[in-house]
């Protein structure tokens, strides 16, 4: 079974500052994907960033980057130059490769960006 753990239920950051959200996972799979999804008050889940486990290079999308430590099964999200629009719930998610499209989600981290 796959489990995803987000140990920070709530976090806050000053506008323009940097914040890191933590995520750890447990799996016996060797091929998989990891994701960070954002859920603003509109409730729509929006993909922030995706990492393929077989790629050693950490994924980056503009102000968002990850620190993927495969051996430690850790997948943290760094948000640089935080903006008010970044205020949302952030979910870490796991998906096995080539065996179906089921996401395993963490419990989420509520991030508030303070003006």
Partner 1 sequence: KAGVTQTPRYLIKTRGQQVTLSCSPISGHRSVSWYQQTPGQGLQFLFEYFSETQRNKGNFPGRFSGRQFSNSRSEMNVSTLELGDSALYLCASRPGQLNTEAFFGQGTRLTVV
Candidate residues 13, 95, 111, 113; the one interacting with partner 1 per rule CB under 8 A? 95
Residue 37 bridge partners (DSSP): 47, 91
Q: Which is nearer to partner 1, 53 or 113 (CB)?
A: 53
User: What's the token pair of residue 38?
Assistant: 């954002």
The window from 16-24, 65-73, 77-85, 103-111 that contacts partner 1 (CB under 8 A) reads: 103-111
Whether residue 89 contacts residue 10, with contact meaning beta carbons closer than 8 Å, is answered with: no
How much is the CA Rg of the chain, to the nearest whole Å? 14
Residue whose token pair is 């790629």: 55
CB 99, min distance to partner 1, A: 9
Select 13 or 59, whichever has its Cβ closest to partner 1: 59
Cβ(54)–Cβ(106) under 8 Å? no
33 SS3 class = strand
| Nearest distance in Å: CB 48, partner 1 | 11
Enumerate residues 19-48 that contact partner 1 by CB under 8 A. 33, 35, 37, 42-47
Nearer to partner 1 among residue 4 and residue 13 (C-beta): 4
């Amino acid at each position: 079974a796959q489990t995803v753990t987000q140990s920070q239920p709530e976090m806050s950051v000053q506008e323009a500052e940097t914040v890191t959200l933590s995520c750890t996972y447990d799996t016996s799979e060797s091929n998989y994907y990891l994701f960070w999804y954002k859920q603003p008050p509109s409730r729509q889940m929006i993909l922030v960033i995706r990492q393929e486990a077989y790629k050693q290079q950490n994924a980056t999308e503009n102000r968002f980057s990850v620190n993927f430590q495969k051996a430690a099964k850790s997948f943290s999200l760094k948000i640089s130059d935080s903006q008010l629009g970044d205020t949302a719930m952030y979910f870490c998610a796991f998906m096995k490769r080539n065996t179906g499209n089921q996401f395993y989600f963490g419990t989420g981290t509520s991030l508030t960006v303070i003006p």
